[in-house]
Amino acid sequence: MLTILDYGGGNLKSVVNMLDSFGVSYTLSDKPEDIKKADQLIFPGQGHFGQVMESLKIKDLIEPLRQSLLKGIPFLGICVGLQVLFDSSEEAPGVKGLGILKGNIIRFREGKIPQVGWNKINVKNNSSVLKNDFYYFVNSYYAVCSDPDVVLATAQYHITFTAAVQKGNIMATQFHPEKSGQTGYDTIKRWLDSQGEKNC
């Protein structure tokens, strides 16, 4: 079962609408037992790093989420769903992330913050999911990865920054595919297809 993590924030409606348009079966849940038995997980984006981690803690979702990721459940993180995979963020000093990927989230030092709008990504390696195309971003922060091999795509905003990461079963995007029109819909469809989703 595909499970969408409902941590009390995020851009749930757009993600749900997109999946509904595909005819995909899914569960929307904030229950630890549903996270534990999920076959696939989507962590929607939008929110403050510290508040999201606090919500996960209150709902007792941190350990079930970590265990699902570590045992190989296919995972798609969006925006803050990417950021919480890392150790920490400048947005919430002293708050620990999930620590699944090593590195930190830092704030842009130049330009108008947040970055809002369309930006073209550059996919580093061959990807069955991501293409070199324009996607919609709303972010003040970006990931600095300790292991450069996990960087799947980059984009430019005064500097080159991490636009997407991938490691094994884990894929996450700093941009919002659910807000990226047909390009984003095609991306999510390819991710579902790559996981063997039969209902889309």
- 48 a catalytic residue: no
Tokens 């265990």 — which residue? 67
- Average pLDDT over the chain reads 94
- How many other β-carbons are positioned within 10 Å of the β-carbon of residue 18? 18
- What single-letter amino acid sits at 30? D
In tens, the pLDDT along 101-158 reads 999 999 999 999 999 999 999 999 889 999 999 999 999 999 999 999 999 999 999 9
Looking at residue 199, its pLDDT comes to: 40
**Percent of the chain predicted with pLDDT > 90:** 89
- 145 a catalytic residue: no
Tokens 């922060």 — which residue? 141
Residue 26 and residue 5: Cα distance in Å, rounded? Answer: 11
165: left (phi over 0), alpha (psi -120 to 50) or beta: beta
β-pair partners for 4: 28, 42
60: helix, strand or coil? coil
Q: Given a cut of 50, is residue 197 above it in pLDDT? A: no
Domains and CATH numbers, the chain: 2-194 (3.40.50.880)
- 110 a catalytic residue: no
Catalytic one among 33, 54, 79, 110? 79
- Put simply, whether the predicted model's pTM sits higher than 0.85 gets the answer yes
In tens, the pLDDT along 6-35 reads 988 767 889 999 999 999 999 999 999 999
Catalytic one among 90, 178, 197, 200? 178
